[in-house]
Amino acid sequence: MYAKVSTASLYGLESREVHVEVDVGNGLPSFSVVGLANRSIREAKERIHAAIDHCGYRFPQKRITVNLSPANRKKEGSHFDLPIAVGLLMSTGQIVPAEETLAETALIGELTLDGRLEPVEGVLPLVIGMHKRGIRHVILPMGNCREAESVKGMLLYPAETLLHAGEHITGFRKILPVAASGRHPNPDQTVGPDFCDIRGQEMVKRAAVVAAAGGHGMLMVGPPGVGKTMVGRRIPGIMPALTDREQLDITQIYSIAGLLDSAMPVVARRPFRAPHHSLSAAAMTGGGSRPRPGEISLAHHGVLFLDELPEFSRQTLDTLRQPMEEGCVTISRVQDTLTFPANFVLVAAMNPCRCGYYGDPVRPCTCTETDRQKYAGKISGPLLDRIDLHIGMERMAYSDIDAENERRNGKSSWELRNEVEEANARQKKRYRALSIEFNAQLPPDKIGLYCHLSDPCRKLVRDAFSRWSLSARAYHRLLRVARTVADLSGSTSIKEDHILEALSYRVPDKSRKGGI
């Protein structure tokens, strides 16, 4: 007998329809799976055999053929267990679907040997793809239900076991459906580490606000212990709250990566990723035999913090160049080409030299000029040119760090976030026709329209362009930063003060940065 069940397979973030066809015929007992199935699917027959026996069904001692259609695309994932098992039981007449039970219905789930349904990775993008194709009913593991509730308009049927799913399909014992509302949980009102913890360094705090408000990359350079890491870890807490669309985008990526659990079914905060400098290029961008999202995709709509920047390999750092421009990364394989989103804010920190004390007024630098050039040369010029804000940090005075000093330490993260939210609201209103939210995302062909300069401002930019030999990319990024500074001040136009502040971030004092 023949049976067919609907499910889906993932290719990057794209969900593609798959039909599980099962045929049980006469012949020597065998169980073969065809249709470019990977090892996890081929091993499913052992799990399915044991699960069917434990749930009280009968495993047929006949010739079983399972085809995953279309057969010209690779399939992978343990979520094919349930549709294969149900198709097998339907083809032997042990499950007879009630009228229209399987119409517009898909199945997802991994089986244990005793027939229980285990949560699987990538459920959210799978269900989103099904919804786009017109499927409105999904039978899935109970542990994946909260994650799938983010897809409005779906009816979810959370099953505990294969027997539970079979009884629902036959109509013997229906599973109560869960209507996906599409509502996302509100993020925790705490913003994490507070900027009040950082004493002094007011210029760096200001630069952090500009970076958060406009989505600009930021590089901090200074001796050890001046607070570079503390600043970097506090930037996500002052960025604008995620929209529902952004939460869904990030959650899909984390679902594929297997980083969701029942306690966090939806990512409601800006991601913060701080990989170690031993990270490989493939781990940074994503890849592998089964392409998975890398660190830059896990930082989508959030912050990628690279501490000790020159310690990363040059190959790994240079892989950031294309994603920083395009907001995505493309992974090419012989069988397919996948694209993962990677619209992140790069925040990096480094010492001015290997010993860390070049330009320090107290401790002398022990590096030679050759050592300093070699250290700085680990970061390519094209990558530096793509970072909007370059900030030099200096040693602090004792009065700034005295724990018993009762004077105010500056604005809190809540206060800074309010400033950022107001500036970002102006950007969203201005760019509503372009569907972008940050000044850093403004296309070069739109800069002249949205970053109009008066004659005095144009003269300032022209003089800076000639004096420091800025590239065309640096010119565009300078105007975007100036536009953000204007938004923070509530100005509708870019003024000279805004240009000067943007220039101070773009062309800082070389002596504080070891010549970088």
Question: What are the pLDDT digits (tens) for 22-57?
Answer: 999 999 999 999 998 988 898 999 999 999 999 999
Question: What are the pLDDT digits (tens) for 448-477?
Answer: 999 999 999 999 999 998 888 888 999 999
**What is the chain's mean pLDDT, rounded?**
90
DSSP helix/strand/coil, 65? strand
Q: 145 CB contacts (<8 Å, ≥6 apart)?
A: 156, 158, 178
Binned at pLDDT 50, 70 and 90, residue 509 comes out as very low
410-422 in b/e form (b: 16+ CB < 10 A) is bbbbeebbebbee
DSSP helix/strand/coil, 307? coil
With both helix axes pointing from N to C terminus, report the angle between 472-488 and 455-467 in degrees, rounded to the nearest 10: 140
Question: CATH code for 195-432?
Answer: 3.40.50.300
Phi, psi of 200 (to 5 degrees): 70, -155
Q: Is-contact 123 255, C-beta < 8 A?
A: yes
Binned at pLDDT 50, 70 and 90, residue 186 comes out as low
Average pLDDT over residues 254-281: 90
Binned at pLDDT 50, 70 and 90, residue 511 comes out as very low
The model's pTM = 0.89
Average pLDDT over residues 173-187: 77
pLDDT on residue 394: 86
pLDDT at 404 over 70: no
Q: 399 CB contacts (<8 Å, ≥6 apart)?
A: 405
pLDDT on residue 390: 95
Return the percentage of the chain with pLDDT > 70, whole number: 93
pLDDT on residue 201: 84
pLDDT on residue 513: 43
CB atoms within 10 A of CB 495: 16
Q: What is the DSSP letter of 160?
A: S
Binned at pLDDT 50, 70 and 90, residue 183 comes out as low
* Fold annotation for 2-179: Ribosomal Protein S5; domain 2 (3.30.230)
pLDDT at 244 over 50: yes
Which sequence spans correspond to the domains of the chain?
2-179, 195-432
Phi, psi of 18 (to 5 degrees): -135, 135
- Please give the Cα distance from 98 to 79 (Å, whole number): 23
Task: Tell me which of 410 and 209 has the higher pLDDT.
Answer: 209
pLDDT on residue 510: 42
- Please give the Cα distance from 100 to 98 (Å, whole number): 6
Binned at pLDDT 50, 70 and 90, residue 215 comes out as very high
Beta strands per DSSP E along 395-467: none
Question: What are the pLDDT digits (tens) for 327-377?
Answer: 999 988 766 788 999 999 999 999 999 998 998 888 889 999 999 989 988
pLDDT on residue 1: 86
Of the ranges 153-167, 172-186, 356-370, which one carries the lowest mean pLDDT score?
172-186
pLDDT on residue 62: 94
pLDDT on residue 512: 41
Binned at pLDDT 50, 70 and 90, residue 514 comes out as very low
Task: Tell me which of 113 and 335 has the higher pLDDT.
Answer: 113
pLDDT on residue 200: 78
pLDDT on residue 150: 87
Average pLDDT over residues 139-159: 93
- Please give the Cα distance from 160 to 141 (Å, whole number): 6
Report CA dihedral (410, 229, 215, 242) to the nearest 10 degrees: -80
467-482 in b/e form (b: 16+ CB < 10 A) is eeebeeebbbbbbbbb
Of the ranges 72-76, 394-398, 486-490, which one carries the lowest mean pLDDT score?
394-398
DSSP helix/strand/coil, 392? strand
Question: What are the pLDDT digits (tens) for 269-318?
Answer: 999 999 999 999 999 998 876 778 999 999 999 999 999 999 999 999 99
